[in-house]
Amino acid sequence: MMLLLLAVAVPACAGCHPAEAKSHASTPMMQALMPARDSSVLRDNPELRTRRGVYEWTLRSSGGDPVYSVSDGKQTVTAKLRWAFGFGVLGQTFVYEKDGALYESTMSYYAATKGLDYTPGHVDRPQRNIEEAAGRLIDPAEVRRCFGCHSTGSAEPVNTGVQCSHCHADTAQHAVSLSKVTKLRQSSSEEISGLCGACHRTWEDIATNGPKDINNVRFQPYRLANSKCYDAEDRRISCTACHEPHTPASHVTAGYDAKCLACHTQGNPAQGNRAQGNVCKVGKRDCVTCHMPKTAIPGIHFGFTDHWIRVVRPGETYPQ
Ligand code: HEC
Ligand code: HEC
Ligand code: HEC
Ligand code: HEC
Ligand code: HEC
Ligand code: HEC
Ligand code: HEC
């Protein structure tokens, strides 16, 4: 009861920080989770269908909760979709409820193919019966983790999306009394990697638990820290040097050139800048197209940007 009262008493950040609130609302992060009935992917695709072996999966939406069904020709199971995970840059994965538990749909929507294909991790999962063909039980601890990264509040979230308080953890009191808050602008690249790594995974997470293969291309804090460019103290290589956290990521490659050239300039390396004098003989613009190549994970129809900045040699093996 006390908690509820406190939560209601906290004024919204937007009232005093309208610029951040307005631009942040349009980010994929702020829309990383939504009730399935609000998914524009499903609204734009009122019927999605795919078949693999004996099973056929169908997603139908005509207002209200979309309906997911799987059939083997003899039997059909259906479920109402509760949640859509992902804004849809890469795609969306759906979650349905059965007997009070949540399940992850076997099939996800991929933006690149505008259709259904296996959800990551499902292609090798056994499908011994129609229930297994429909989806995977998500145990309660994992449910909390999924909601924890894609929304704010870990069980049955009301506030979907990555809200202000996720990154500005010490602002609840500030919103009431204008108490001082951590100025993230002053954080080191290592501190920012830790903040973003709470969801995008930290270097330590991957170094300890893997994956040590192409699947780790989606974990930017790990890839970036392995790059020769990385310096734990130098803010010119922090996540926020290239990504304004309240704005969707820019897709204009030339826009990133200045970020590279902040370090890779002509001049005398002895003057303290480690990368000074270390300049490219091959290209003068669109640096990231060659040095941060788009890399697809098998089965996931999306080119992730490899944050391990390097000279990519033709035919090289993927550095892990
Ligand atoms: C009643 C108005 C008000 C509300 C509500 C409010 N803030 Fe602030 N906030 C301010 C003012 C004024 C400052 C500048 C104070 C300062 O520089 O010390 C500030 C400063 C900040 C800063 C640091 C700015 C800097 O330049 O270092 C952050 C981050 C911040 N607010 C985030 C939030 C978040 C997140 C919320 C919602 C949980 C929030 N604020 C709610 C008025 C407000
Ligand atoms: C609470 C978890 C969380 C934290 C903390 C977090 N992210 Fe994210 N981020 C996500 C999720 C979830 C997505 C996927 C959004 C979607 O559905 O497309 C995402 C997507 C992104 C994207 C791609 C989408 C786009 O175009 O903007 C960028 C870039 C990004 N995050 C940068 C950052 C940076 C930089 C930080 C640290 C300052 C950070 N994130 C912290 C959860 C988080
Ligand atoms: C540790 C934090 C974390 C957990 C736990 C997590 N995600 Fe994510 N998820 C992310 C981040 C960060 C991204 C954006 C970068 C990427 O695609 O890897 C993302 C991206 C996605 C995307 C693609 C989004 C898009 O816009 O294209 C989907 C779909 C997704 N997650 C579904 C899920 C589901 C379903 C679960 C639980 C079964 C889950 N995630 C658990 C952090 C997490
Ligand atoms: C994904 C993490 C993330 C989210 C979500 C987020 N911020 Fe920030 N915010 C940051 C980071 C990191 C900085 C420092 C940016 C920089 O270095 O230029 C920052 C800077 C700020 C500042 C300027 C003060 C400063 O420290 O430089 C304000 C004010 C602010 N944020 C308000 C908000 C509000 C309001 C929201 C919600 C609408 C929000 N932020 C959501 C990460 C986030
Ligand atoms: C030197 C610049 C640079 C730095 C530093 C950087 N990024 Fe990126 N990032 C990019 C570029 C370029 C893209 C691709 C943008 C596009 O074309 O869509 C990108 C894309 C992304 C995406 C979208 C998914 C993808 O693979 O395309 C996420 C999420 C992301 N970055 C997170 C991070 C995080 C977290 C950090 C800090 C650990 C970080 N980035 C540091 C340049 C950078
Ligand atoms: C914080 C400064 C900094 C930034 C920002 C930066 N680099 Fe670097 N980069 C370095 C340093 C330092 C080295 C190592 C120089 C050496 O060892 O001679 C390096 C090395 C490299 C190398 C050679 C790597 C190898 O494997 O041999 C390439 C290629 C490179 N950087 C490209 C880029 C590109 C492209 C960007 C922008 C996307 C970028 N850098 C951003 C500091 C930076
Ligand atoms: C067309 C692809 C391409 C583009 C665009 C490109 N590079 Fe390169 N870069 C290369 C290749 C290939 C090498 C390796 C050259 C060699 O070893 O002979 C290289 C080498 C480098 C090196 C290492 C130099 C050294 O002497 O160790 C740095 C640093 C670098 N590039 C930075 C950049 C920056 C910054 C940009 C953008 C202003 C950029 N590159 C644009 C392909 C490219």
Strand partners, 147: none
Using alpha carbons, select from 104, 125, 116 the residue that is nearest to residue 47.
116
pLDDT at 155: 66
Which pair of tokens denotes residue 204?
A: 């330590």
Q: Per residue in 224-248, pLDDT tens?
A: 999 999 999 999 999 999 999 999 9
Query: 235-249, 271-285, 288-302, 306-320 — which is least confidently predicted?
Result: 271-285
The overall pTM is greater than 0.85: yes
DSSP three-state, residue 116: strand
- 222 pLDDT exceeds 80? yes
Residue 3 to residues 8, 14, 84, 167, 170, Cα–Cα distance (Å)? 9, 21, 28, 21, 16
Q: Which atom of ligand 2 is nearest to the CA of 247?
A: 27
pLDDT at 148: 92
Instruction: Verify whether ligand 7 is closer than 6 Å to residue 263 (CB atom).
Output: no
Q: Per residue in 90-104, pLDDT tens?
A: 999 999 999 999 999
pLDDT at 154: 59
- 77 pLDDT exceeds 80? yes
pLDDT at 5: 34
Residues with CB under 6 A from ligand 6: 228-229, 231, 234, 236-237, 256, 259-260, 262-264, 274-275, 278, 287-288, 291-292, 309-311
pLDDT at 273: 76
Conformation bin of residue 315: beta by default, left when phi > 0, alpha when psi is -120 to 50: left
Best substitution site from 40, 85, 154, 196 to test ligand 3's pocket, by max atoms within 8 Å of Cβ?
Answer: 85
pLDDT at 277: 76
- 269 pLDDT exceeds 70? no
Q: Which atom of ligand 1 is nearest to the CA of 171?
A: 38
Best substitution site from 200, 243, 246 to test ligand 2's pocket, by max atoms within 8 Å of Cβ?
Answer: 200
Dist. CA 309–CA 158, nearest whole Å: 38
Q: Which atom of ligand 4 is nearest to the CA of 235?
A: 17
Q: Per residue in 246-255, pLDDT tens?
A: 999 999 999 9
CA of 60 from ligand 2 middle (Å) equals 29
- 4 pLDDT exceeds 50? no
- From first CA to last CA, the distance across the chain in angstroms is 49
CA of 181 from ligand 2 middle (Å) equals 22
Best substitution site from 24, 163, 171 to test ligand 1's pocket, by max atoms within 8 Å of Cβ?
Answer: 171
| pLDDT bracket for residue 69 (50, 70, 90) | very high
Q: Which atom of ligand 4 is nearest to the CA of 186?
A: 17
Q: Per residue in 169-216, pLDDT tens?
A: 888 889 889 999 999 999 999 999 999 999 999 999 999 999 999 999
